[in-house]
Amino acid sequence: MSGGLDSQLAIRILERAGAYVEAVCFSTPFFDITGAKKAASALGVKLHIIDFLDDELKLIANPPHGFGGAMNPCIDCHAKMIERAGELMAEFGYDFVATGEVQGQRPMSQNRQSMGIVEKCSQMKGRLVRPLSAKLLEPTIPELEGKLDREKLYDISGRGRERQIALAAEFGIVDYPSPAGGCKLTEAGFCRKLKDLKDHEGLADRQLIEFLTVGRRFRLADGSSLILGRDQRENEKLLSSGLLTLRSEKGVGPTAAIPKLCSEADLAFARRIVDAYIKGTTESDRTFCKSYQIC
């Protein structure tokens, strides 16, 4: 359950076809699950939230089926999410896992071939239902066993949204985001920062990954990175981060954080950058940091 229209429709279609449904969403700093929580609440279904960051990082390091346009390992990511949902299915004794995938909707991850790969790699063969496109695909085990009425499933394909929008009206679904994006791994600008982190500090530290969405970033000459708050909320977040922070004595201007200080020269340059963002202050207002350690 992403919270998008297709995943909401998948739930309502399954319910109409005779299933009891619970939703699963996957939490990482790359995808905001607020929409999934809102949609699950509006649909009245229980939502399981799975921490997916470790899985995603392994796929970013080594995606067996490659990346999409940026650092988005969509085929393997789909397969892994479905595999994890399959673990819940087994744990709770349910019959199948379903997704809101639509055949032909996305060039990389939702064409007939990649949907077959996802089914195979997720180890859910026969127990993965795509209610929106089910009639274009082989009948699944729950359909063959009569637990799901195939006649009430759909044959939607392609990138058009007309049928989904008509179905949303039929089901009374009014609140859904536009279909584009949502995942930061598809955004070139974010992925530049992610690659920079991977190349310098590595991807083992969750806090540094979460902080990729905070502040302006600078890579200094000796290798330190500098994160500069853009507003009060970001400044406060950096101040309470536990990282080495720099700010003016009087608290004016931005707060900066340095996750890993590489040299005195980087620290001196970091101070100059922070000072450059402080307008109309005297020398006594300028940047200081209480204590620091060069690693």
> Taking the complex as a whole, how short is the minimal distance between the CB of residue 2 and ligand SF4, in angstroms?
7
Instruction: Report the residue count for the chain.
Output: 295
> Taking the complex as a whole, how short is the minimal distance between the CB of residue 7 and ligand SF4, in angstroms?
11
Q: How many residues bind ligand SF4 (CB under 6 A)?
A: 10
Residue partners of 170: CB distance under 8 A and separation at least 6:
none
Name which of 6 and 143 has its Cβ closer to ligand SF4: 6
Angle at the Cα of 30 (from 156 to 131), degrees rounded to 5?
A: 20
Q: Whole-angstrom distance between the N-terminal and C-terminal Cα of the chain? A: 42
Rounded (10°) angle between helices 53-61 and 74-92? 150
> Taking the complex as a whole, how short is the minimal distance between the CB of residue 59 and ligand SF4, in angstroms?
8
* Residue 128 touching ligand SF4 (CB under 6 A): no
Chain residues 50-109 in contact with ligand SF4, contact rule CB under 6 A:
72-74, 77-78, 109
* Residue 237 touching ligand SF4 (CB under 6 A): no
* Residue 31 touching ligand SF4 (CB under 6 A): yes
Residues 271, 245 contacting (CB under 8 angstroms): no
Site string for ligand SF4, 174-193 (x = CB under 6 A): ---------x-xx-------
Radius of gyration of the chain from its Cα atoms, rounded to whole angstroms: 23
Residues 92, 61 contacting (CB under 8 angstroms): no
* Residue 1 touching ligand SF4 (CB under 6 A): no
Question: Which residues are at the interface with ligand SF4 (CB under 6 A)?
Answer: 31, 72-74, 77-78, 109, 183, 185-186
